[in-house]
């Protein structure tokens, strides 16, 4: 990453937020990585007439962090910007205060998790960091207007009938969206856009952008999902078949017993169907010369199916954590319409 690259990232964050004079900003940053972004980001924030009120450290030695103190910080803020971290995640007090702030419609947030969200396909290695940086920089250029048009069309199709996801390896699962709200991540975090927010993640904007997300009716999920590798959290499963009956999953395959123990320990709705997400960003799609899942599956044609809590999406699951899994070669149909064929987005 060069100085010009960090400048571009800072401008894109500012463009997404459309900051106004007098607005207040909280930053969460890691002093060990991506430090080249801080000066240009501070400059564009200052140029807009907004001001940074505090920088929250990514990691803290204070295990007894006071929730009320963190709440006070968020109550003073109009905007929260979450920058890259070595270990991307929030401490309990920050997570609680952030969710309360978003749910109370008191502000808007940008997630800029640059150095996370990339996953191998099967047992292949990830490409170099420089290669991933080039792809992510290109992905910042995608037009929010173009994404919104495609998302609206896809959401309409996905509501039109039973959704079915298949892969050559044996995935064959169907579910219904019903009247569940879609989250359209187009990279617009402006105050105007927030007027349309229905669920928490509508106010929590990701850059790069591109994914359309929904929590389908959980108990409508039936069928199977094949995973060559289980990557969430601690357990590494192999050649797994996730079998869903009325939204509840049973897992078969190598290390399935350990995964079962992991889900049991998580409690809550860890074994429930959680989410369907479909990527639309052309710059993040699978490349034959370096196949990998870029930025949490936001690339065009990538499907993300997950288990666990989906409160942020307006779903019914509570507790149990979140377990993402990605399909790079899926076919997706809704009724008689095909949205994705063998990993290629048709819209």
**Domain of 17: which CATH number?**
3.40.50.2300
pLDDT tens digits along 120-129: 898 888 999 9
Domain count, the chain: 2
Judge whether 121 lies within some domain: no
Strands (E) across 171-231 are located at 172-175, 182-184, 204-206, 211-214, 222-230
Q: pLDDT class for 317, splitting at 50, 70, 90?
A: very high
Same domain, residue pair 291 and 169: yes
Separation CA 105–CA 127 (nearest Å): 39
Summarize the confidence of residues 188-196 as an average pLDDT.
Answer: 95
Per-residue confidence (pLDDT) for residue 347, from 0 to 100: 82
Q: Is-cis flag, bond preceding 208, omega within 30?
A: yes
Q: pLDDT class for 235, splitting at 50, 70, 90?
A: low
Judge whether 138 lies within some domain: no
Position 275 pLDDT exceeds 90: yes
Same domain, residue pair 182 and 319: yes
Judge whether 129 lies within some domain: no
pLDDT tens digits along 126-145: 999 999 999 999 999 999 99
Check if the beta carbon of residue 105 is closer than 8 Å to that of residue 198. Answer: no
Same domain, residue pair 99 and 38: yes
Same domain, residue pair 255 and 154: yes
Total-model pTM: 0.93
Q: What share of the chain is helix, strand, coil (3-state, %, to 5)?
A: 30, 30, 40
Judge whether 128 lies within some domain: no
Q: pLDDT class for 295, splitting at 50, 70, 90?
A: very high
Same domain, residue pair 262 and 335: yes
Judge whether 132 lies within some domain: no
- Which domain, by its residues, includes 70? 3-116
Largest CA distance in the chain: 56
Last residue of a domain, one of 69, 97, 116: 116
Tokens 């997570």 belong to residue: 95
- Average pLDDT of the chain, as a whole number: 94
Same domain, residue pair 96 and 171: no
Tokens 């999902």 belong to residue: 225
Other beta carbons within 10 Å of 115:
16
Would you state the torsion angle of the CA atoms of residues 288, 294, 296, 298, taken in this order, to the nearest 10 degrees? -80
Q: pLDDT class for 116, splitting at 50, 70, 90?
A: confident
For residue 67, which phi and psi values (nearest 5 degrees)?
Answer: -65, -40
Per-residue confidence (pLDDT) for residue 234, from 0 to 100: 59
Separation CA 183–CA 193 (nearest Å): 12
């Amino acid at each position: 990453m060069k100085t010009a690259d960090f400048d571009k990232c800072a401008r894109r964050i500012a463009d997404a937020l459309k900051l106004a004079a007098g607005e207040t900003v909280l930053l969460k940053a890691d002093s060990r990585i991506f430090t080249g972004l801080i000066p240009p980001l501070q400059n564009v924030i200052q140029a807009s007439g907004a001001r940074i009120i505090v920088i929250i450290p990514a990691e803290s030695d204070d295990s007894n962090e006071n929730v009320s103190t963190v709440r006070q910080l968020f109550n003073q803020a109009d905007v929260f910007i979450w920058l890259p971290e070595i270990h991307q995640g929030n401490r309990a007090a920050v997570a609680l205060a952030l969710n309360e702030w978003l749910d109370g419609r008191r502000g808007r947030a940008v997630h800029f998790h640059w150095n996370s969200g990339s996953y191998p396909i099967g047992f292949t290695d990830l490409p170099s960091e420089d290669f991933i940086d080039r792809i992510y920089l290109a992905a910042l250029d995608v037009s929010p207007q173009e994404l919104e048009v495609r998302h609206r069309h896809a959401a309409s199709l996905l509501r039109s009938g039973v959704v079915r996801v298949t892969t050559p390896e044996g995935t064959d699962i169907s579910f219904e969206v019903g009247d569940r709200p879609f989250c359209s991540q187009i990279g617009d975090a402006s105050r105007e856009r927030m007027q349309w927010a229905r669920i928490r993640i509508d106010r929590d904007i990701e850059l790069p952008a591109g994914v359309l997300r929904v929590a389908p009716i959980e108990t409508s999920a039936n069928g199977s999902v094949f995973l060559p590798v289980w990557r969430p959290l601690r357990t590494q499963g192999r050649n797994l078949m996730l079998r869903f009956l009325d939204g509840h999953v049973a897992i078969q395959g190598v290390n399935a017993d350990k995964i079962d123990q992991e889900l049991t320990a998580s409690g809550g709705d860890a074994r429930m169907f959680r989410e369907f997400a479909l990527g639309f960003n052309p710059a993040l799609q699978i490349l034959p010369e370096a196949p990998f899942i870029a930025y949490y599956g936001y690339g065009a044609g990538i499907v993300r199916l997950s288990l666990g809590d989906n409160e942020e999406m307006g779903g019914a699951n509570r507790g149990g954590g979140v377990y993402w899994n990605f399909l790079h070669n899926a076919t997706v149909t809704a009724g008689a319409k095909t949205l994705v064929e063998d990993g290629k987005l048709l819209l």
